[in-house]
Structure 1
Amino acid sequence: MTRMPASTWASLSRAHEERADSLTAGHRARKATRERHAIDDFLYDYYGTRLSVLRRWHPGVDISLEPGPNGSAPHRQWRWYATDADGVVRFHATAFLADRAETVRFIHRLLSAIASRPAFTGCFGLHEWAMVYRQREHRHPLPLRLGQEGTDAVVESHQIRCTHFDAFRFFTPDAVSLNRLRPTRESQLELDQPGCLHASMDCHKWATKLGPAVPGDLALDCFELARDIRLLDMQASPYDFSSYGEPAVAIETPEGKAEYVARQREFSQRAGRLRARLIDVCAALIEGAEPPARLGT
């Protein structure tokens, strides 16, 4: 285990808080005025992202924090940390695994399975279109760019191949039979693939579930990726986001499809790098660590 001097971890912690504040500035300002945002709110409502958790810097599994002039690192008071007799604080991997073993092993299996597959980039974001197909009431209070009939026509003129259960489960009843696959929670290990925008956004979900085992920079990288992907997800949706100043990615046209696929591939590559690091975190947890002297609360 690598020991980190107090000056280093204090600097990293401050920088992490500043980056987290920058990434969430818009949401925090809107939260103060109770303003809703059809793009960004997804990251907090669907994923249950907590600002206080996002701001908290963690060193990761194999780094211990040396005490400074003011004593041991504040992590000593946090769950799943332990403090040695000399004041060195470290993440207690064994204790964390004892509480979260099933979750860690599932995440490891799922992310490893996704990483082993080629990326499919022929979905064109049609999952969002299938969520409003032949539906008069929609999730977002925004008009449809092509109207209801035009939106339905786009769905009917394409083959839909959604692999992600958490997108498929929001399909309208009429759209379910149009999907070439029938994703379920049980088939997630077999179907999730690296080209899927939602599977890539889920890196943020898995990083959150792995909690303090995930180094701070990796946690924020996953959140930032999810934020960037969410924007494309909505730009390529049937909704008109011009009131947000966001141009549409018109996937019903050849030009829009080309733009979508290019950005989808870029996100897939970014997610692949982050997914590999999350797999490493899981592997380190599963291997375990020698229990330190005293657990924090």
Structure 2
Amino acid sequence: MDEMIGAYLERRAVGEPHPVLDFLFTYYSLKPGHLRRWHPGHGSVLTGPGIEDYRGRSGYVDVAVGGRPGVTVSSEFLDRRSSAIEFVSTLIGRTATRPAQLGCFGLHEWAMVYRGGDEALRHDVPLRLGHDGTDAVVESMPLRCTHYDAFRFFTPDAVPRNALELTPEHRLLTEQPGCLHASMDLYKWVAKLGPLLPSELLLDCFALSMTARELDMRASPYDLTAYGYSPVRVETPTGRAEYVRAQSAIAERGAALRVAIGGLLAGLR
């Protein structure tokens, strides 16, 4: 973790973006320093010299345990986060009840550049198949995106090609466990709840998010060989089968994390 964070900070300092790895630090709002700060979760009390690092931090209050000073996450902070807890609980609970859909083949990244020309490119790297080849792939298969935060970046020409026209309200209606971005977002939802949840869970979600991001971009239309990533050629039957195998493994890890998150949130409600 420290190696990854350090590499990101070094790249940022010299203005060298990474099209795959930076996403977890730029799209998601959790600062790198927050990943390095350990939290035991609500209901635990920290004692000893290390508590000075927590005094005054958001969510923490001073307490005494057996006459010894300590810090813990306050009930007031828990109350302030009640609506977020309710939303995340509902979202992951509904997502978990739905079957994993494994037929999208990661085409959301292709839809984000479809017929958009150079202006639609989201990264300073070339397209593997060029613009015409990329457009042809989108036109050869249906778009089945269920994740609003991917759909909202579709080009205007790609929007009507999707099976669903998604809105923010669709998060609770269409999110399903096969979606790579639904698995990536577990990191976001745990991070939003800050010190209420243990850092071990946050790091597990971060690791899954990284795995999903790598597949997401390997299956994208971008040529990332210069960064050490071999393509998952979803324009071919072999590539689609490879994508589905990796997607299924990520979905299984996401399902286990939803159970863990849901159990902890149930104890906070």
Normalised by the size of structure 2, how large is the TM-score? 0.93
Written as runs of structure 1 = structure 2, the 5 A alignment for 1:35-54 is 35-54=16-35
Number of residue equivalences: 264
Q: Higher relative contact order at CA 8 Å, sep ≥6: structure 1 or structure 2?
A: 1
Distance across 2 between alignment mates of 1:227 and 1:181: 27
What is the alpha-carbon root mean square deviation over aligned residues?
1.5
Structure 2 unpaired stretches of 5+: none
Deviation for aligned residue 1:73: 5.7
Distance across 1 between alignment mates of 2:248 and 2:138: 23
**Residue type of the alignment partner of 1:39:** V
Distance across 2 between alignment mates of 1:273 and 1:22: 26
SS in 2 for 1:83: strand
SS in 1 for 2:226: helix
Contact between 2:105 and 2:234, CA under 8 Å: does it hold in 1?
Answer: yes
Deviations 1:73-124, CA, capped at 9 Å, x for gaps: 63233222222233132222x2123212211111110011111111111100
Q: Is 1:274 the counterpart of 2:253 in the alignment?
A: no
Deviation for aligned residue 1:72: 4.4
Contact between 1:61 and 1:284, CA under 8 Å: does it hold in 2?
Answer: no
Contact between 1:23 and 1:224, CA under 8 Å: does it hold in 2?
Answer: no
Deviations 1:123-149, CA, capped at 9 Å, x for gaps: 000001111111112111211111111
Distance across 2 between alignment mates of 1:242 and 1:166: 26
Counterpart pick for 1:256 among 239, 243, 261: 239
Task: Give the corresponding residue for 2:169.
Answer: 186
Structure 1 residues 177 and 72: CA distance shift in structure 2, 3 A: closer
Counterpart pick for 1:83 among 62, 70, 79: 62
**Residue type of the alignment partner of 2:54:** H
Distance across 2 between alignment mates of 1:190 and 1:39: 29
**Residue type of the alignment partner of 1:150:** G
Structure 1 residues 271 and 23: CA distance shift in structure 2, 3 A: farther
Distance across 1 between alignment mates of 2:180 and 2:234: 15
Structure 1 residues 72 and 179: CA distance shift in structure 2, 3 A: closer
Contact between 1:126 and 1:160, CA under 8 Å: does it hold in 2?
Answer: yes
Counterpart pick for 1:210 among 171, 179, 193: 193
Distance across 2 between alignment mates of 1:254 and 1:42: 28
Normalised by the size of structure 1, how large is the TM-score? 0.85
Task: Give the corresponding residue for 1:108.
Answer: 89
Q: Is 1:32 the counterpart of 2:13 in the alignment?
A: yes
Contact between 2:143 and 2:161, CA under 8 Å: does it hold in 1?
Answer: yes
Distance across 2 between alignment mates of 1:258 and 1:143: 24
Task: Give the corresponding residue for 1:11.
Answer: none
Deviation for aligned residue 1:282: 2.0
